[in-house]
Amino acid sequence: MTQSIFNTGKVLHQVVIGQLQGVAEEYFDKQPEGFNNTIRWNVGHMIYWMDKYSTLSFGSPSAIPDSYEMLFNSGTKPLNWTVAPPSKEELVEMLMAQLSRLSELTPEMLDEKLSTPYSLGPFQFNTASELFNFALIHEAIHLGTISSQLKVLSR
């Protein structure tokens, strides 16, 4: 059962990568009406938080540049960026590296208690599996946002 969580994470990352490869980079920085951010921001946000959740869940060292926190953390937005964001190619490479790291995780790692419970609003996560499952939900939500942005932009 626990191996299926990792398989779900891999499939989800493959879907995101596949969708992004078909998107022209010119769409990455257009903010459609009714949306708070751009496709580039959503992709970077997914990468940033998957890295953060992996660090919290499994003790994995961060594998992203420090600038990602300033660019893609919750509450950030492209209008406030003071440094150039990563290219589409770099974002896809980061997603592929995360996909590769998912293969290194073991089912036993999911059973571990977090060193400190992680709270997010009214939710509290106590184990690696709880937090990693939330990470996948979070990524799927942002994939849906990207899909919606693409529909609006392609009109």
Higher pLDDT, 145 or 7: 145
Position 2 scores a pLDDT of: 66
DSSP characters for the chain?
-HHHHHHHHHHHHHHHHHHHHTS-GGGTT---TT-SS-HHHHHHHHHHHHHHHHHHHH-PPP-S-THHHHHHSTT--GGG--SPPPPHHHHHHHHHHHHHHHTT--HHHHTPEEEEEEEETTEEEEEHHHHHHHHHHHHHHHHHHHHHHHHHHT-
pTM: predicted TM-score of the whole model, two decimal places: 0.93
Checking if the pLDDT of 1 tops 70, the result is no
Position 5 scores a pLDDT of: 85
Position 4 scores a pLDDT of: 83
| Least confidently predicted of 5-9, 85-89, 135-139, 147-151 | 5-9
| Model pLDDT for residues 96-131, shown as the tens digit of each residue | 999 899 888 888 898 899 999 999 999 999 999 999
Position 18 scores a pLDDT of: 93
Position 83 scores a pLDDT of: 94
Between the alpha carbon of residue 149 and those of residues 35, 36, 44, 97, the distances in Å are: 8, 10, 15, 25
75/90 Cα distance (integer angstroms): 22
| Model pLDDT for residues 23-74, shown as the tens digit of each residue | 998 899 999 999 999 999 999 999 999 999 999 999 889 999 999 999 999 9
Position 106 scores a pLDDT of: 87
